[in-house]
Structure 1
Amino acid sequence: MRHDIHPLVMNDAGEVVLGQVFGKGEIVYQHNTEALRNFWRHKLPLIAEFSYYIDLRLNRLRSRYGGEARG
């Protein structure tokens, strides 16, 4: 298994990428703990709201190519 490092400036990242970072990523540098906490408080609801549309899109793709729609 490869453990490549993919640096990312989270300020400008979209909801899909931020969802992956919050779910699987590891923060290696942060300057202000309180600012990071506020950033998470602001972005997590946006990620949760956007996940509905991602699931909808994936289900359409699955059904289009013969897969079974989920959830």
Structure 2
Amino acid sequence: MERLVTVTEAAKMLGTSVRFPRRLISERRIRFVHVGRHVRIPVSALEEFVADGTVEPIEVRWEGGRVVS
């Protein structure tokens, strides 16, 4: 079974306030599990959320003081 974390632990892992993962859950933007009346978040859901939001850098070339695509 995959490791599940509390909302507080998820916030610490993301480096955010507790309110942020709670909002992700309420907006259904992240997978979560109900364990009785408790909410838990799979670690892989946090990893997927971070991966989906990661923006890769682009290579920029300069010619004559201007950026060339």
Task: Specify the TM-score bucket, using the shorter chain as the normaliser.
Answer: under 0.3
TM-score for both structures, normalised by structure 1: 0.25
More strand by share: 2
Whose Rg is larger?
2
